[in-house]
Amino acid sequence: MRYKKPEEMKIETMLCHYGEERGKYQGAVVPPIYQNSLFTFESWDAIDEAFSSPVDNCIYTRGKNPTTSIVEEKLAALAGGEKAKLFSSGMGAISSAIMHFIKEGDHCITINNVYGPTSAFFKNHLKEKCGVDTTFVSGELVEDFENAIRENTRLIYLESPSSAVFTLQNIKEIVKLAKKHNIKTVIDNTWATPLFQRALEMGVDMEVHSCSKYINGHSDVVAGVAIGKKEDIEDMFYKEHALYGAKIAPFESWLIMRSLRTLPARMRIHQENAMKVAEFLDNHPKVKRVMYPGLDSFPQKKLAREQMTGFTGLFAFEIDSENLSSIKEFVNSLEFFGIGVSWGGHESLIFAPAIAYLKEMTEEHFKNTGLKLGIMRISVGLEHYEDLISDLSRGLELII
């Protein structure tokens, strides 16, 4: 049997069942991993027919693979998009989405504290390879974008909240402005996931995700996805996806299929845990401020509640100390927070964004991002929040 249309069921049910057809694979409760590079055909005419539409037919796994297609159908339905394409990394999806919308000599606008490699893609790579200029703006005000628009502006690239200092952009208003000027919009929606932020419904042309974070959620896959209109995704299928070759492995698609079944359940716990940990930190004397969009003390709280329906487990806080050695001691003392990059997995993590940003950008750009040495980014995992709070509480005693 083929399950119903996604709009006939709730998201939780859709993520468990949609796109799967047990009858096609002996009733197996979990669809198989199609671990093959190519597909053979019965005849000349059959392969000839398949070639009339490679986007719809399994010919070669760089293009279409059945395991990957199931996951793409679920992801498109999850975000309310017409179509999705999986990539071998978030950056694969991001660079392809940007290239899809621009050409030589165009101008783009993005935010100062956009994800580091995305920033480098705009600032260095696009400039050098295609002569595309990018203006970086703070992004908290719609006017920041309005003032940066030029005659040749073709793309506004958003990341809300940003994953470094968690500032928000007003998605609906920016989309309105972009449409008025015939500018396309792309958003990196990795932080909120489509569960908590309906970017496509707010009019954004395409959303991209690092699936390495919440969508896969188990810290065992690096992958990405672009979701949007059929026309855009199919054009990317033949151009950026096929020609750059950032194809996902069928096994990794299969792991993401597993993960999507538990996404709503996981997100509820990430959010609940993060709220408890953020409130604890917000009231701690050694903590200067907590940057978590779910908190009442969050400066853009109103906008956060207008454009998001939930808050996930990644946020930052600033330690009230300039003493770098005691800050390091705090980080090193933690038992349940691994020291590492990435986020959105089952395990809690801590990272000082300054470590990466100072390697990737000039001191001046670093200053513009609003980051400081004492800012810690934590990814609150699925452990019990009481263990996490005790761990942080013991560690903060070391701050002088």
Ligand X SMILES: *Cc1c(COP(=O)(O)O)cnc(C)c1O
How many Cβ atoms from other residues are within 10 Å of residue 14's Cβ? 21
Stretch that binds ligand X, among 9-17, 139-147, 205-213, 241-249 (CB under 6 A): 205-213
Instruction: Return the residue of 31, 63, 81, 90 that touches ligand X, per CB under 6 A.
Output: 90
Structure tokens at 276: 């408890």
How many Cβ atoms from other residues are within 10 Å of residue 225's Cβ? 29
CB of 314 to ligand X, least distance (A): 8
Stretch that binds ligand X, among 48-56, 86-94, 130-138, 167-175 (CB under 6 A): 86-94
* Residue list 117-176, contact with ligand X (CB under 6 A): 159, 163
The answer to whether the beta carbons of residues 313 and 321 sit under 8 Å apart is no
In the complex with ligand X, which residue's Cβ is closer, 33 or 93? 93
Question: Interface with ligand X includes 91 (CB under 6 A)?
Answer: yes
Structure tokens at 248: 């996902």
In the complex with ligand X, which residue's Cβ is closer, 202 or 222? 222
Structure tokens at 45: 């005419």
Instruction: Return the residue of 65, 89, 112, 119 that touches ligand X, per CB under 6 A.
Output: 89
Stretch that binds ligand X, among 89-97, 128-136, 260-268, 347-355 (CB under 6 A): 89-97
The answer to whether the beta carbons of residues 263 and 15 sit under 8 Å apart is yes
Q: Is 384 left (phi over 0), alpha (psi -120 to 50) or beta?
A: beta
In 310-374, beta strands by DSSP E? 314-319, 338-339, 349-351
| CA 294 from centroid of its chain's CA atoms | 18
CB of 193 to ligand X, least distance (A): 11
| CA 139 from centroid of its chain's CA atoms | 18
Stretch that binds ligand X, among 27-35, 84-92, 130-138, 275-283 (CB under 6 A): 84-92
In the complex with ligand X, which residue's Cβ is closer, 115 or 157? 115
Question: Interface with ligand X includes 95 (CB under 6 A)?
Answer: no
Instruction: Return the residue of 113, 160, 169, 210 that touches ligand X, per CB under 6 A.
Output: 210
Token pair 């978030």: residue: 90
Stretch that binds ligand X, among 87-95, 145-153, 165-173, 282-290 (CB under 6 A): 87-95
In the complex with ligand X, which residue's Cβ is closer, 163 or 321? 163
Instruction: Return the residue of 72, 106, 144, 188 that touches ligand X, per CB under 6 A.
Output: 188
Question: Interface with ligand X includes 382 (CB under 6 A)?
Answer: no
**Pairing between β-strand 349-351 and β-strand 375-379 as defined by DSSP bridges:** antiparallel
Q: Site map for ligand X, 215-254, x if CB under 6 A? A: -------x-x------------------------------
Cβ neighbours for 214, distance < 8 A, ≥ 6 positions apart:
190, 193, 263, 266, 267, 270, 312, 344
Dump the DSSP string for 36-100. -SB---SSHHHHHHHTT-TTTS-SBTTT--HHHHHHHHHHHHHHT-SEEEEESSHHHHHHHHHHH
CB of 212 to ligand X, least distance (A): 4
Measured at CB, which residue is nearest to ligand X? 90
Stretch that binds ligand X, among 90-98, 141-149, 226-234, 303-311 (CB under 6 A): 90-98
Note the residues at the interface with ligand X (CB under 6 A).
89-91, 94, 115, 159, 163, 188, 190, 210, 212-213, 222, 224
